[in-house]
Amino acid sequence: MSEPFVHIANLTVKYQQKLVLQDLNWVINRHENWLLCGTSGSGKTTLAKAIAGLIPVYNNEIQLNFTLDTHLPAQVYYVANWYQFKDLEGGANFYYQQRYNSQATATTATVRVELNEFGKENNLEWDKLDHILSALGYAKVIDATLIQLSSGEHKKLQLVKAIWLKPQLLILDQPYNGLDTRSRQNLNVLLEEISAEGTQLIIVGNETELPATINRFAEIKDGVLQEISSESRKVNAAEILSKPVPAFLNQSAVPVSEEHIIRMIDVNITYSGKRVLKDINWEVISGEKWLLQGHNGSGKSTLLSLICGDHPQAYANNFHLFGNKRGSGESIWDIKKRIGLISPELHWYFDASATVWQTVASGFFDSSGLFCNPGSTKHAQVDELIGYFGLTAYQNTLMNVLPLSKQRLALLARTIIKNPEILILDEPCQGLDEQQTQHFNKLVDELCGYGTTLIYVGHFESQLPSCLEKRILLEHGEVKSIESILQSI
């Protein structure tokens, strides 16, 4: 009998004196491809990083037995849930609005340069890329700078590298986050192709749309791994606990006098001669609930940046917000105080050195971090909302030491703390498990019952709040359709 590919024996990992994994055992045999699931914060990412050698382990707790008679690199390659990049001078201290700054684009590498460097480092042939780029619809951004990419396009860059490399063991942490439906399907085909060539897979997450080559399932619970069946990993919706919404959110947001909160007339956005948004006409009436969809790179993030006051080209367009034409005297802070926003980009650029409590409280002031005392009333509201999201035990913990899922929950709390007139939720449930996703969307439904206007971006039809009424679909920067949600889902 051949030796196992991966053998983990009695692996224990502590982080800041907290036990994350305890005497964990796992054997991965040849030709096995695994889904590693579990609730958010259960230790999935910690285990994945340990296998990839990114977390130190001791006493031969993890043994890897690579195959010598193959052309595949004797390597474990880990694709993180979070993509980080640096500018041409090695800096990584970016801010949220910087992606719309022409000077910033001049100091960050293009996708082509990034892939060239990766190919040279790993002795890869450029002509093997065409198939991957085509499958993921990525050739169109090959000359875009990294800072201009959307969250889905950043995820695709990670995946392009991994599939091009074809290591003996590929670990993918939340690989479907930010991907549209077609890209998820094509990714599964690509993973099946490299699996057939010998690459073994570990997918980390609670996914349901998996490549057919996944043939084993495991769950981490209380620091221990156990093999499970495919069916037992599904969450029973009846088991999801319902919590009462904090009382201060059980009130209508400040009523708006304008019937049309958003009005865009022939809006165009252009970068370096390329139109990213083309003749956009869209009206949002106070209290409406919209689903914004489109393939990766279709212009969704740019459209939202106009509404949130972050995009400088808003002033060059016929664009009205809260009844006022942009550029008529309102400040960016006048706009932001009426909007609650979460997006993958906001998460990337948020001050990770703030505590959970400071992060949530900063939502009152639309700041990245807390720089003033919010007062006793707001203090009590922060405490109540932190409890609602199950974060009380972490309220004094720095964001940068939390699992990404709990960072996300803190930012969701920050988004709604001021009970805004408009909620703009751009893939708000990225990285959350199914219980957390359903819990949050239930909260959205309740908040929007009090007249809050909603714009919700989501690629997974099964992970949407039920209050949605209308859908706007973008394709290549243009409005492809506007329709009733009941007709489209």
> Token digits for 119?
């190919």
| Stretch 224-242: mean pLDDT | 67
Most confident range (mean pLDDT) of 208-217, 302-311, 404-413 is 208-217
Which H or E run includes 301? helix 300-307
Whether residue 318 sits in one domain with residue 268: yes
Secondary structure of residue 355 in the 3-state scheme: strand
pLDDT of 98 over the 50 cut? no
Whether residue 388 sits in one domain with residue 431: yes
pLDDT band at 487 (very low <50, low <70, confident <90, very high): very low
Contacts (Cβ under 8 Å, ≥6 apart) of 155: 83, 175, 177, 178, 179
pLDDT band at 332 (very low <50, low <70, confident <90, very high): confident
CATH (domain of 291): 3.40.50.300
**pLDDT reported for residue 234:** 59
Which residue type is seen at 203? Answer: I
Q: Which domain holds residue 274?
A: 247-488
pLDDT of 222 over the 80 cut? yes
pLDDT band at 251 (very low <50, low <70, confident <90, very high): low
Question: In the predicted model, what is the mean pLDDT of the chain?
Answer: 86
pLDDT band at 398 (very low <50, low <70, confident <90, very high): very high
DSSP per-residue codes, 13-66: EEETTEEEEEEEEEEE-TT--EEEE-STTSSHHHHHHHHTTSS---TT-EEE--
Whether residue 155 sits in one domain with residue 72: yes
Give the model confidence (pLDDT) of 122-165 as tens digits.
Answer: 999 999 999 999 999 999 899 988 888 888 888 999 999 999 99
**pLDDT reported for residue 18:** 80
CA-CA distance, 250 to 245, in Å (whole number)? 7
CA-CA distance, 465 to 291, in Å (whole number)? 10
Cross-sheet strand order for the sheet of 76-79:
76-79, 169-173, 200-204, 34-37, 216-221, 224-228
Tell me the C-alpha to C-alpha distance, in Å, between residue 92 and each of 96, 138, 359. Answer: 12, 24, 21
238 vs 415: which has the higher pLDDT: 415
Whether residue 295 sits in one domain with residue 198: no
Residue 366 lies in a domain: yes
| Stretch 301-307: mean pLDDT | 89
Residue 241 lies in a domain: no
Whether residue 121 sits in one domain with residue 56: yes
Whether residue 483 sits in one domain with residue 339: yes
pLDDT band at 178 (very low <50, low <70, confident <90, very high): confident
In the listed set 201, 234, 267, which residue is the last one of a domain according to the structure?
234
| Stretch 10-24: mean pLDDT | 87
| Contact indicator for 264, 317 with CB cutoff of 8 Å | yes
| Stretch 421-435: mean pLDDT | 85
> Token digits for 24?
């964990």
Whether residue 479 sits in one domain with residue 429: yes
| Stretch 279-292: mean pLDDT | 94
CA atoms within 13 Å, Cβ hemisphere of 129: 21
Residue 240 lies in a domain: no
Whether residue 471 sits in one domain with residue 360: yes
Please give the tally of structural domains in the chain: 2
**Range of weakest confidence among 63-77, 193-207, 268-282, 310-324:** 310-324
Residue 265 lies in a domain: yes
**pLDDT reported for residue 236:** 45
**pLDDT reported for residue 255:** 52
> Token digits for 159?
């995946």
CA atoms within 13 Å, Cβ hemisphere of 384: 17
In the listed set 211, 234, 257, which residue is the last one of a domain according to the structure?
234
Residue 83 lies in a domain: yes
**Range of weakest confidence among 60-69, 198-207, 289-298, 459-468:** 459-468
User: Is this model's pTM higher than 0.85 or not?
Assistant: no
Give counts: helices (H), strands (E), the chain. Answer: 14, 19
Whether residue 216 sits in one domain with residue 253: no
Distance of CA 188 to the CA centre of its chain: 19
Whether residue 259 sits in one domain with residue 376: yes
Residue 239 lies in a domain: no
- Per the listing, tokens 């909007």 go with 339
| Stretch 413-435: mean pLDDT | 88
Secondary structure of residue 214 in the 3-state scheme: coil
**Range of weakest confidence among 199-203, 224-228, 237-241, 434-438:** 237-241
Give the model confidence (pLDDT) of 26-83 as tens digits.
Answer: 999 999 999 999 887 889 999 999 999 999 887 779 999 999 889 999 999 999 987 7
**pLDDT reported for residue 226:** 94
**pLDDT reported for residue 278:** 94
Whether residue 209 sits in one domain with residue 142: yes
CA-CA distance, 361 to 370, in Å (whole number)? 7
pLDDT band at 237 (very low <50, low <70, confident <90, very high): very low
Whether residue 255 sits in one domain with residue 185: no
Residue 391 lies in a domain: yes
**Range of weakest confidence among 54-63, 188-197, 427-436:** 427-436
In the listed set 179, 212, 234, which residue is the last one of a domain according to the structure?
234
Most confident range (mean pLDDT) of 250-259, 292-301, 428-437 is 292-301
φ, ψ (nearest 5 deg) of residue 110 = -85, 165
| Stretch 388-411: mean pLDDT | 88
> Token digits for 290?
């919209």
